[in-house]
Amino acid sequence: MNVLASTTQALQTWHRMIDTREMSLLDELLAEDVVFYSPVAFNPYPGKAVVSFILQNVIQVFENFTYHREFMSEDGHNVVLEFSANVGEAKLKGIDMIRFNDQGQIVEFEVMIRPKRGLEALAAQMGERIKLFQPQ
């Protein structure tokens, strides 16, 4: 399977996971060496366990989460997904910038969010949850 096909298939799985909240699909989607770049933390979070923890928790924090647009690079390795959501009363817009390996697994996941109020609400909620992460 070529890169474009692998990434397209992985994106279909990603959207199915988001729609159904079947977060166990992260196991097949994330590469072991995946790195997460948070919109609120300078240092990245490396490794499948912590990235899976973050993504499973953020989907619980977001309310009315909706993807709007999707862009893919010509080589199929990079995808940008535009989304909107609420965190309590705060509304936010953001993008997920995702890099895939040749096998269609996520190796890099970077999130950018605006406005500041929405980002601050997300940071407060996720800050409490990330304290609960127990590395294995």
Strand partners, 63: 86
**Structural domains in the chain, sorted by start:** 3-130 (3.10.450.50)
Split at pLDDT 50, 70, 90, the class of 104 is very high
**Confidence check: pLDDT of 9 > 90:** yes
pTM summary value: 0.94
Q: How far is CA 123 from the centre of its chain?
A: 15
Strand partners, 92: 85
pLDDT of residue 77: 97
Model confidence pLDDT, tens digit, residues 52-67: 999 999 999 999 999 9
- Which of 17, 21, 20 minimizes the C-alpha distance to 98? 17
Residue 50 in contact with residue 126, Cβ under 8 Å? no
Residue 93 in contact with residue 82, Cβ under 8 Å? yes
